[in-house]
Homo-oligomer: A and B are copies of this chain.
């Protein structure tokens, strides 16, 4: 009943089996050239002593590693990230790697801390969703040491736009809508700034702009003319991209369309913001830029006892269950996770191409909510 009997070592096994340390090491590492008699004695000693290979100790030898990859995301509780983490873990585990997942909670300081901790732990590779205000320092510091992959958002090689976008930040009491003009202007600069340099590290992105554009076109096609972009802060890369796609669709031939922007972080906030707008007649359709916004929109519709045409970005569990079922722009999350894992594994296997950006297509899933 000793609380913590210290685990037996190779030395113990060697002594018990009456062989040299190195022979045990060979046996443990699956070497074939061992006298069967000795191998048997060693195997017996191992099970009798309850010996377990110490990977942590083995990993300090040069050229050896613990076969662990780090994954830094913003929130494990969000289905988007947990699906991604699952996919990454699955691909890595097929290749003998373990995954360490940590959440930054969208906090840049905590993000740095976690990356540091993972590096100190000597992980073999890093898959990272860069924080909101990315200082790029983490990537520059880590990239030379080990394979690094940015996922969902690029590791900025230039700082983000100083004033993210002067959008009308709606607040529940006095939700403001802004005319199209300033948004279009800021969009132009966002477009110009898109990927000015080659990526710092391998990067896996979804086609946020393209997906948003397709969704917006679909709303326009059904007669929408005053569309609300309901999303999270435009400080977020994905939001900026989706907003850019949104505006790109509005600039198209089917002119005369107006737009406004409302910002909300949680589903409840989104519901409040939208509820306040519903009676005013200032909007006639909603593009929900993430799943929380979609859920908020449904709540607002339910509360108001009315609804507007709606398309959301990111599929979510409820989307097909509510009436009308919610049309969405879906990312192939599993594929993104697998791509990220494979990118790390490829470099671990020795490949050293120039860092590349992979943009995965999105798909528009129409379920009915896009119609008036």
Contacts and interface: CB of A to CB of B under 8 A. Distances in A.
Contacts of A76: 82, 85-86, 89
A7 B144 CA distance: 10
A6 B65 CA distance: 13
Contact of A54 (B52, B85, B120, B316): B120
Contacts of A352: 3
Interface string A287-306: 00000000100110010000
Contacts of A50: 141
Interface in A58-104: 59-60, 62, 66, 68, 75-77, 79, 81-83, 85-86, 89-90, 93, 98-103
Contacts of A117: 98
Interface in A200-234: none
Contact of A121 (B55, B101, B302): B55
Contacts of A86: 75-77, 103
Contact of A146 (B4, B77, B323): B4
Interface residues of A, number: 58
B60 A89 contact: no
Given A82-B77, A122-B55, A145-B4, A321 B323 contact: no
Nearest to A351: B3
Given A76-B86, A302-B323, A318-B322, A101 B103 contact: no
Report the copy number of this chain in the oligomer.
2
A5 interface: yes
Contacts of A174: none
A26 interface: no
A55 B120 contact: yes
A116 B52 CA distance: 8
Contacts of A121: 55-56, 66, 68, 98
Contacts of A90: 103
A88 to B, nearest CB: 10
A119 interface: yes
Contact of A101 (B101, B118, B298, B317): B101
A31 interface: no
Interface in A265-309: 295, 298-299, 302
A184 to B, nearest CB: 34
A62 B90 CA distance: 33
A53 interface: yes
A321 B316 CA distance: 12
A77 B81 CA distance: 9
Task: Please list the 7 inter-chain residue pairs (A to B) with the smallest Cβ-Cβ separation, ordered nearest first.
Answer: A318-B318, A82-B82, A76-B86, A77-B86, A56-B122, A57-B60, A55-B120
11 contacts: A7-B145, A50-B141, A54-B122, A55-B122, A66-B121, A85-B101, A89-B101, A295-B321, A302-B323, A317-B317, A318-B322
Given A75-B86, A77-B82, 8 more contacts: A52-B116, A54-B122, A76-B82, A93-B102, A99-B100, A99-B102, A100-B100, A295-B321
